């Protein structure tokens, strides 16, 4: 289910994901939709308002991300990104 997939990806539990999705729905940032062919499954979709907020946060965070890697040497930002991705994948494998 979507909750299980989100729980695995975020390192949370299904109840925690349900609380987050409930909160996003209350704020108008996401909606649950039925999945054709499987009445047990509900998909969570970002709303246009949620997409606007996501884009705004991404734009606002970009200068901070640039400052964080400004002191790194040539090629090191890419190495850091690779290492963090490897850590994330290993955490997923442990569950």
pLDDT tens, the chain, 95 aa long: 555 666 676 777 778 888 989 999 999 999 999 888 888 888 889 999 999 999 999 999 999 988 988 989 999 989 988 888 888 766 555 55
Residues 95 and 53 in one domain: yes
Residues 62 and 87 in one domain: yes
pTM of the model: 0.61
Number of domains present in the structure of the chain: 2
Q: Which domain holds residue 20?
A: 1-46
Residues 73 and 57 in one domain: yes
Distances (CA, A) of 85 to 1, 10, 12, 76: 24, 13, 18, 14
List the alpha helices (DSSP H) in 1-95: 2-10, 14-26, 48-69, 76-94
Residues 95 and 60 in one domain: yes
Residues 33 and 52 in one domain: no
Residues 59 and 94 in one domain: yes
């Amino acid at each position: 289910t979507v909750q299980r997939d989100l729980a695995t990806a975020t390192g949370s539990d299904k109840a925690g994901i349900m609380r987050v999705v409930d909160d996003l729905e209350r704020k108008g940032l996401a909606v649950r939709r039925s999945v054709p062919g499987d009445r047990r499954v509900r998909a969570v979709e970002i709303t246009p308002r949620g997409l606007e907020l996501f884009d705004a946060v991404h734009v606002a965070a970009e200068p901070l991300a640039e400052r964080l890697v400004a002191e790194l040497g040539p090629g090191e930002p890419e190495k850091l990104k690779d290492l963090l991705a490897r850590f994330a994948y290993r955490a997923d494998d442990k569950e």
